[in-house]
């Protein structure tokens, strides 16, 4: 019998290899992105939701230099907090510590040691000993009590907008005014579910039906926003709001990451005339370009989301 005849059939190797890889992929994805029984990504809830208040009996009161943000430069949720910090002029009030994704460790590590911690998990455990949950960014940290105040980005940006005006350079800027909340809140709901989290529901879907549902919902709302921007500068008319901040951080990553890596491939943002104008408009506001790094974003997504890009190749 020849050596060629002794080799395993190509079809057997393909079927076996595909079966093994799929099982490993599902295992890795279950750790990276938990899903429901339909294979749709379920983002876990944030665990720290304390508030900063002007009340004297509050544990956390607004003070210059007391708080710091821990952010990953590639993370869109953390990017929101950097944008509001910049727009409000809080750079000298709230310091920033950067963390870096470490794929082999499965978490974030400190760019520079902070609070005697070298990883974000150590910081979480410093705040809450024996903490076992997910360690995500952004984190609003209280240096006085050595605790996490909040790790929910949607709440942190409200705190930065509302509670530090006595120290802010741009205290007059209100990104969440009472008279616009009736417009802002519905946009926030749509944008979170279908766009901010929607791109992840596309990329992390584990079934075809879950992916298609998320993808159709994503582009339905993008189409709706495109129409809304026909006669509006921003989502709520001529006023920049937190809804715009929440949308921007996904849009700026869309064409270079989500379109291909997350299979959000119906259209690019550049294919939408109004959304493209809107994106450029916000991007050209003072110092906004200092709040992100497109090369780092692309490197982190393609280099660290191993189940989505096993080769680790970063596209040109």
Q: Where are the domains of the chain?
A: 29-173+287-316, 178-285
Would you state the CATH architecture of domain 178-285?
Up-down Bundle (1.20)
pLDDT tens sequence across 173-229: 999 999 999 999 999 999 999 999 999 999 999 999 999 999 999 999 999 999 999
- What is residue 193's predicted lDDT score, i.e. its pLDDT? 97
Range 152-156 average pLDDT: 97
- In order of 71, 244, 268, 277, the CA distances from 272 in angstroms are 30, 16, 7, 9
* 16-25, 41-50, 154-163, 303-312, range with greatest mean pLDDT: 154-163
Peptide bond into 14 cis (omega under 30): no
The residue assigned the tokens 């005849």 is 5
Rounded to whole angstroms, the Cα distance separating 155 from 192 reads 13
75 is catalytic: yes
Is 200 a catalytic site residue?
yes
CA distances from 186 to 34, 152, 180, 243, 295 (A): 26, 19, 11, 9, 33
Q: Residue 222's closest CA among 254, 257, 185, 261?
A: 254
Output the pLDDT for position 55: 78
Tell me, yes or no, if the two domains 29-173+287-316 and 178-285 fold the same way: no
Distance CA 301, CA 312 (A): 9
Q: pLDDT tens, 51-107? A: 998 777 889 999 999 999 999 999 999 999 999 999 999 999 999 999 999 877 778
What percent of the chain stands above pLDDT 90? 77
pLDDT digits (tens, 9 = 90+) for 9-35: 788 777 777 767 665 656 565 666 667
Query: Could you give the CA distance from residue 274 to residue 85 in angstroms, rounded to a whole number?
Result: 26
pLDDT digits (tens, 9 = 90+) for 28-52: 656 666 677 777 777 777 889 999 9
Q: Is the pLDDT of residue 5 over 60?
A: no
At the fourth CATH level, the homologous superfamily of domain 29-173+287-316 is Glutaredoxin (3.40.30.10)
- pLDDT over 70 at 282, yes or no: yes
H or E stretch at 294: helix 294-304
What pTM does this model have? 0.91
Q: Give me the torsion for CA of 283, 286, 290, 291, rounded to 10°.
A: -70
User: Of 41, 60, 200, 278, which residue is the catalytic one?
Assistant: 200
Q: Is the pLDDT higher at 58 or at 123?
A: 123
Confidence (pLDDT) at 30: 61
Query: Which residue in the list 41, 60, 70, 75 is annotated as catalytic?
Result: 75
d(CA 129, CA 132): 9
Q: Is the pLDDT of residue 1 over 50?
A: no
């Amino acid at each position: 019998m020849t050596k060629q005849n002794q080799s395993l059939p190509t079809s057997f190797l393909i079927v076996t290899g595909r079966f093994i890889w799929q099982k490993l992929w599902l295992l890795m994805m279950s750790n990276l992105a938990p899903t429901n029984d339909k294979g749709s990504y379920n983002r876990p809830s944030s665990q720290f939701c304390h508030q900063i208040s002007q009340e004297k009996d509050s544990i956390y009161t607004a003070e210059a230099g007391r708080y710091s943000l821990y952010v990953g430069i590639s993370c869109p949720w953390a990017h929101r907090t950097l944008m509001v910090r910049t727009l409000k002029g809080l750079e000298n009030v709230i310091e920033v510590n950067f963390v870096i994704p470490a794929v082999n460790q499965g978490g974030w590590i400190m760019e520079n040691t902070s609070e005697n911690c070298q990883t974000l998990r150590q910081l979480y455990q410093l705040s809450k000993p024996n903490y076992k949950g997910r360690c995500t960014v952004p984190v609003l940290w209280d240096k006085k009590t050595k605790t996490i105040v909040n790790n929910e980005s949607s709440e942190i940006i409200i705190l930065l907008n509302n509670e530090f005006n006595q120290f802010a350079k741009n205290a007059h800027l209100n990104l969440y005014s009472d008279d616009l909340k009736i417009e802002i809140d519905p946009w926030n709901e749509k944008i979170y579910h279908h766009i901010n989290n929607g791109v992840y529901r596309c990329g992390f879907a584990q079934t075809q039906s879950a992916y298609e549902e998320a993808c159709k919902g994503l582009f339905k709302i993008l189409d709706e926003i495109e129409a809304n921007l026909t006669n509006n500068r921003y989502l709520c008319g001529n006023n920049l709001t937190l809804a715009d901040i929440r949308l921007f951080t996904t849009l700026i990553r869309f064409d270079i990451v989500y379109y291909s890596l997350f299979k959000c491939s119906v259209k690019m943002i550049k294919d939408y005339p109004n959304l493209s104008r809107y994106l450029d408009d916000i991007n050209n506001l003072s110092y906004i370009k200092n709040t992100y790094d497109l090369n780092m974003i692309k490197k982190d997504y393609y280099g660290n989301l191993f189940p989505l890009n096993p080769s680790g190749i970063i596209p040109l």
